[in-house]
Structure 1
Amino acid sequence: MLYSLARPLLFSFAPERAHELTLSLLKSAHKLGMMRQNVAAKPVMCMGIEFPNPVGLAAGLDKNGAYIDALAGLGFGFIEIGTITPRPQAGNPHPRLFRLPEAKAIINRMGFNNDGVDKLVENVKAAKFKGVLGINIGKNADTPVEKAVDDYLICLEKVYNYASYVTVNISSPNTKNLRSLQSGDALTELLDTLKTRQLELAEEHQHYVPIVLKVAPDLEAEDIEFIAKQLIQFKFDGLIVTNTTLSREGVEGLAYGDEAGGLSGQPVFEKSTACLAAFAQALKGQVPLIGVGGILAGEHAKAKKDAGASLVQVYSGLIYTGPTLIQDCVNAL
């Protein structure tokens, strides 16, 4: 109710300014004890972790882990922060975030803007949150794609002790050539190297932290089969399906509909859910799936579960629906 009243004001600001303002207001409300949404407990065991409920926050909203405690007050079963890179970077030039309210959609070309992995670790250490925290890692824009694995290793090593699970993001369309890591020898090398290092870190710290992959919805059937086989071969702990799409189906002719970047929100729902179902069939229950993309109501979360997801994540839907979306999805699941 409160969000429906606030949304017109927030939408009067440029999208990135509204994003920053919303997080600042949420943090202030949390400090004053005004922001607490009680969500029913519906525990789910996945990847060896007990999630209080199956509805999480997708990466991208809190890139630097600066708002973890405030976001936790909304009742998420888990929170994923990032994407983080080894070194700070400004991301792509402004404007780089666009609302398409007629389609309940967002286009972004942020480009992994973040304060660097060391700052994120500082923020995580300062947070009081004791729930399930995912940390999403990527590569710096100026790191050649042939050296990408080095950036992922740096981030994995630095966040390992502070994450409930680590997400390897190779599917953002806004870092040049990043999606090339989803195929061929590049994917094999990446998964093999990261899995080997994960097991070494587990031995060093006497604590196993699951590692999951995040993929794009713009995959062909043969891509899905290949990725599934690689995930099984290297015993990855989970798969997030999906990131944003390069397709413009559903936003043709709308203001900003032809802007470059990844499309999220309602138009990506069918595409991402079909991709999820295809991975579920290919993986045959051997790798847990997290469904994300176009969830704007509880029925959408239920559809992700029916397609094979053990957990779901929301982001763009929050912008259009508000925090009540979390409870609606928990109820539907």
Structure 2
Amino acid sequence: MTVFERTLRPILFRVGGGDAERAHEFTLSRLAGLGAPFMKALRSRYAVSKPVEVFGVRFPNPVGLAAGMDKNGVALASWPAMGFGFVEVGTVTAHPQPGNDRPRLFRLRDSEAIINRMGFNNEGAAALAGRLAAAGDVGIPVGVSLGKSKVTPLDEAVEDYLTSYNLVQEHADYIAVNVSSPNTPGLRTLQDKSAIGALLGALAGKTPVLVKIAPDLAEPAIAELLEVCLAYGAAGVIATNTTLARDGLAPADQPRAAEAGGLSGRPLTEKARKVVHFVHEETGGRLPIIGVGGILDPDDASRLFDAGAALVQLYSGFVYRGPALTRAIVRAFDPAADRRPS
């Protein structure tokens, strides 16, 4: 057990009387206020360099912070200090929005999982663009996850995404199109062949665009989506988002199973690996994959790399394990390994 797990995590989990979202906000505010000396100390402890190049972008190492942790980009400078090779901010929408009613974020400790129904709460794409412009080069690539504003009808979704894209793309190393969150009504229908084709066609430009897919799609639906991604020049796929399934929960967490929202963490580990493997096999390796879902130790990350992921991202694993997990995954990563799935 790491120092974070023994000392800091118990404190953070008690913040706000155990309210997960208040603890999240508290942590972000503290990270945003860290001074240069402390940043330097963190970097010397956690940052490990193992550079890789994916979809034309050079990453100091292959482990990134997933979208949802720093939606509004308030703690950009802290993520490289904690060893991340890239950070994905957002999901951000064209219109600022408060998200769904609280409570909307729940820890399932025995299962090492999280349920969220945040609903894309964010300050809007314009605010994020201003923050990214002010931050400048933070030392690692920055991706921006885009979602549909809740007030925007589905038949106007392309224009909504395009508004956000035009605001942020010059500040982003890549763009992630989030059409797979379960917490915005109707959003997952944008994974359909015609919808994703129209969206990718509108967002074509110099900035790499990746599509984030749900782990709950059947393989034929994933295959159809991948055909469109290849046809429209998507730079890659992020696999996966949270799941609506409730398989694999520990007995103590079963009362939480009825909570609406997407589940992440340990119960998603094997499902994410299978989706990554399928995407890699289906495309013959032509679409780079960012693997995300249920990474709580270096072996989990290694299995995603072996399944075909070029990069990985952490969310729940970072909540439960802290920055030592980032360092451990990078140290275990062999950039020269043959990653062809068996």
Q: TM-score normalised to the size of structure 1?
A: 0.94
Offset at 1:329?
0.9
Q: Which residue is equivalent to 1:181? A: 190
Whole-Å Cα distance in 2 between the matches of residues 6 and 277 of structure 1? 35
Whole-Å Cα distance in 2 between the matches of residues 109 and 31 of structure 1? 35
**Paired letter, 1:244:** T
Q: Deviations over 1:54-83 (max 9, x none)?
A: 000000000001110122211111011000
Q: Which residue is equivalent to 2:4? A: 3
Q: Which residue is equivalent to 2:25? A: 20
Q: Which residue is equivalent to 1:309? A: 309
Q: Deviations over 1:216-263 (max 9, x none)?
A: 000101111101111111111011000000000012752322200000
Q: Would you say how many aligned residue pairs link Structure 1 and Structure 2? A: 322
The DSSP-based 3-state class of the residue aligned with 1:247 is coil
**Paired letter, 1:103:** S
Aligned identity (percent) is: 45
The DSSP-based 3-state class of the residue aligned with 2:33 is helix
User: Where does 1:1-333 land on structure 2 (aligned, <5 Å)?
Assistant: 1-4=2-5, 5-12=7-14, 13-33=18-38, 35-36=42-43, 37-128=45-136, 129-195=138-204, 198=205, 208-251=206-249, 253=251, 254=253, 255-333=255-333
Offset at 1:25?
2.1
Q: Deviations over 1:137-195 (max 9, x none)?
A: 11101111111111110111111110001111000000000000111321222222222
Whole-Å Cα distance in 1 between the matches of residues 237 and 193 of structure 2? 18
* 1:100 and 1:257 in contact (8 A); partners too: no
Q: Deviations over 1:98-130 (max 9, x none)?
A: 000000000000000000011111111222513
Flag structure 1 segments of 5+ consecutive residues without an equivalent: 199-207
Q: Which residue is equivalent to 1:201? A: none
Whole-Å Cα distance in 2 between the matches of residues 218 and 259 of structure 1? 17
The DSSP-based 3-state class of the residue aligned with 1:107 is strand
* 2:193 and 2:228 in contact (8 A); partners too: no
Offset at 1:302?
0.4
Whole-Å Cα distance in 1 between the matches of residues 328 and 46 of structure 2? 12
Whole-Å Cα distance in 1 between the matches of residues 259 and 249 of structure 2? 11
The DSSP-based 3-state class of the residue aligned with 2:101 is coil
* 2:295 and 2:317 in contact (8 A); partners too: yes
Offset at 1:28?
2.9
Whole-Å Cα distance in 1 between the matches of residues 28 and 278 of structure 2? 35
* 1:212 and 1:240 in contact (8 A); partners too: yes
Flag structure 2 segments of 5+ consecutive residues without an equivalent: 334-342
* 1:30 and 1:70 in contact (8 A); partners too: no
Whole-Å Cα distance in 1 between the matches of residues 249 and 35 of structure 2? 36
The DSSP-based 3-state class of the residue aligned with 2:313 is strand
CA 1:18 to 1:171, structure 2 compared with 1: closer, same or farther past 3 Å?
same
The DSSP-based 3-state class of the residue aligned with 1:213 is strand
Offset at 1:31?
4.6
The DSSP-based 3-state class of the residue aligned with 1:26 is helix
* 2:182 and 2:262 in contact (8 A); partners too: yes
Whole-Å Cα distance in 1 between the matches of residues 95 and 328 of structure 2? 38
Q: Which residue is equivalent to 1:205? A: none
* 2:193 and 2:225 in contact (8 A); partners too: no
The DSSP-based 3-state class of the residue aligned with 1:154 is helix
Offset at 1:22?
1.2
